[in-house]
Amino acid sequence: MAFSVQLGEPLFNLVFWLDELQVAGVSLARVVGVGLVPPDRTAGTAAPTDDHVEVRDVRYAYREGRDVLHGIDLDLRVGERLAVVGPSGAGKSTLGRMLAGIHPPTGGSVTVGSVPLVELPVDDLRQRVALVTQEHHVFVGTLAQNLRLADTSASDERLAEALDAVDALGWARALPDGLETGVGSGGHVLTPAQAQQVALARLVLLDPHTLVLDEATSLLDPRAARHLEGSLDAVLTGRTVIAIAHRLHTAHDADRVAVVDAGRITEIGPHDDLVAAGGEYARLWESWQQE
């Protein structure tokens, strides 16, 4: 979710990206990103020709002079699934947030349909590229209100379709007041898997062209994660997907795998090719199989 603040006629608008934070059981909005973007980005003039994502010589530094991404180049075909793997702290999440337009690159460019992400109007950006993280996204309100965060005008029927697409309609209808049941702090407690399904149903409503999944199922126990991955498949079909993967079987299913190490893509290609090449990915794959 994003909103922008414009004061007078500024050179830049202040944009906040919001996420949810649970404090002592209370659900609060948390600012996960703040950016200064040119007014065009919220006024809306850029029009990407397609959803081809191109990353060119991208660098990113949280603190000046301390790059955590160094010269990343990446081309994503429309409808491709790319798994991103690598050691902790390598820069995978930073890359994911950059691909979702939350972190503007410190150097280089990320474009969709030849338009730099930083020039896209925020609403257009959110509809083109959505980020799903491992945190729960349930706000205080009814289940229906939680879903309509993605599409304020969605009919009850559309909400039911979205829940059905992620295999959540059964439990949602069984709630005390169905979709009008209060959830979030003080309301009906959803399991972590149900909370993730709500987030996925919101994605179905948002209908983004490209999805960045940052370890979207990693907080769940393996059985719930496997179940959710079935729901996820319905959401992923037909979209470009960048999956930041902990579990390598997700990587195995992808069209290509990118290994990120110390802020660089050190290997990229189909799973079988990387295994045959005998490099870092082959070692990761072998050790994962022995776990």
Q: Which residues bind ligand ATP (CB under 6 A)?
A: 62, 68, 86, 88-94
The one-letter amino acid code at 262 reads: A
How many Cβ atoms are within 10 Å of 3's Cβ, its own excluded? 11
Token pair 């199922």 is at which residue?
217
How many Cβ atoms are within 10 Å of 239's Cβ, its own excluded? 18
Q: Give the nearest distance from C-beta 47 to ligand ATP in angstroms.
A: 31
Q: Give the nearest distance from C-beta 262 to ligand ATP in angstroms.
A: 9
What DSSP state is assigned to residue 114? T
| Among 33, 29, 98, CA closest to 61 | 98
Q: Give the nearest distance from C-beta 260 to ligand ATP in angstroms.
A: 6
In this complex, which beta carbon is closest to ligand ATP, that of residue 77 or of residue 249? 249
In this complex, which beta carbon is closest to ligand ATP, that of residue 48 or of residue 91? 91
Parallel/antiparallel/unpaired status of strands 240-244 and 210-214: parallel
Q: Give the nearest distance from C-beta 61 to ligand ATP in angstroms.
A: 9
Residues 6 or more apart whose Cβ sits within 8 Å of residue 265: 72, 73, 74, 258, 259
Cβ-in-10-Å burial (0-12, 13-18, 19+) of 86 comes to buried
In this complex, which beta carbon is closest to ligand ATP, that of residue 184 or of residue 263? 263
Q: Give the nearest distance from C-beta 140 to ligand ATP in angstroms.
A: 26
In this complex, which beta carbon is closest to ligand ATP, that of residue 172 or of residue 244? 244
Q: Give the nearest distance from C-beta 86 to ligand ATP in angstroms.
A: 6
In this complex, which beta carbon is closest to ligand ATP, that of residue 92 or of residue 209? 92
In this complex, which beta carbon is closest to ligand ATP, that of residue 99 or of residue 232? 99
Q: Give the nearest distance from C-beta 20 to ligand ATP in angstroms.
A: 17
| Among 126, 127, 120, CA closest to 45 | 120
| Among 36, 148, 152, CA closest to 103 | 36
In this complex, which beta carbon is closest to ligand ATP, that of residue 88 or of residue 153? 88
The one-letter amino acid code at 155 reads: S
**DSSP per residue, 6-71:** --SS-SSEEEEEEEEEEETTEEEEEEEEEEEE-HHHHH-----SS--EEEEEEEEEEETTEEEEEE
